[in-house]
Amino acid sequence: MAGDAPLLERLARMPPVSAAEALTLFERVAELQGDPVIGPLFGVDEEGDTVVSPLVPTVLQQFQDKAELTCYGALLEGLTGVWNAAVRAAVVTRLRAAGLPPDDLLLRLQALSPTLGFKTEKPAWAREWLADPFAQDTLLVQQCVVRMLLALRTLAETRAAELTTHEG
């Protein structure tokens, strides 16, 4: 395994796959609940009908609205969102443990890193986030995870097609 290229490098070498292709994924996967990657996003209600996590339609709509978005790009966006939430949580924990008051905490966060989102967002969002970072980032992280799972599963379908298509 030492000679294997890292996953992101291998994925980056694949031909671009539109993120909107995730919309057709549900037509190709026979039993969505049984899929090891996206199965947890689906369930069955009391009547035996398939139910879907409310985050799936939201993410699929985002995929559809951004015609230029590739699955690889969606995967990176998802990873970036989770990373930013993790770093924000770690930084706030450390700064609060050091006894920094909330207003100073916000200023410090804005100065630390533009990628944490505090400089680009409205001050009201930053204050809401500081009041309850868990509630503010939980939905973001969940959406990012759904984004990553749908993008990876769609890329996997493309790779499976390459591996199982035999020329003449």
DSSP class of 18: B
Strands (E), 11-167: 42-44, 50-52
What whole-number distance in Å separates Cα of residue 69 and Cα of residue 25?
A: 16
- Please calculate the CA angle 9-138-48 and round it to the nearest 5 degrees: 90
Q: Which of 10-14, 18-22, 104-108, 134-138 has the lowest mean pLDDT?
A: 104-108
Q: pTM for the full model?
A: 0.82
pLDDT at 126 over 80: no
Residues 55-98 pLDDT 10s: 999 999 999 999 999 999 999 999 999 998 888 888 888 888 99
Higher pLDDT, 142 or 136: 142
pLDDT at 168 over 60: no
Residue with tokens 């993120």: 19
Higher pLDDT, 165 or 132: 165
